[in-house]
Amino acid sequence: MTDFTLISDDQWRQRLSPQEYHVLRQAGTEPPNVGEYTNTTTEGIYSCRACGAELFRSDQKFDSHCGWPSFFSPLAGESIIERTDSSHGMTRTEIICANCESHLGHVFAGEGYDTPTDLRYCINSISLKLSPTE
């Protein structure tokens, strides 16, 4: 099994496209309403595009109209790490993959969505890979 935390920056650049590298390894954000999973309703498992770790299920996805795929809960609490992000003049909670420490997006609480958790995991499509279920 690969220890993704030992992969060098140059190795990540070789594994990922420039756009994937920017978001996953440099904590970038893709533009809203352009990601391949923003509006998809395909059933399946969403995994980390960098390492393949399973992160979210399609039945936890909801339409938040924010421009990025939104989920109300991760697949398992230990699949993600939350940390404080004070960039861009605000404080948010960043979400990274627990397996490879790649940037996924941010989580927001208390926005009033009709979901079981009152959380919105706002995730960059480019950080995910969907494996459809049959």
Question: Which residues are known catalytic residues?
Answer: 122
Label residue 32 left, alpha or beta by phi (over 0 means left) and psi (-120 to 50 means alpha). beta
How many residues belong to the chain? 134
Tokens of residue 55, six digits: 């992160």
The dihedral formed by the CA atoms of 47, 48, 49 and 51, expressed in degrees to the nearest 10: -110
Distance between CA atoms of residues 32 and 97, nearest Å: 21
Closest CA to 24 of 119, 99, 84: 99
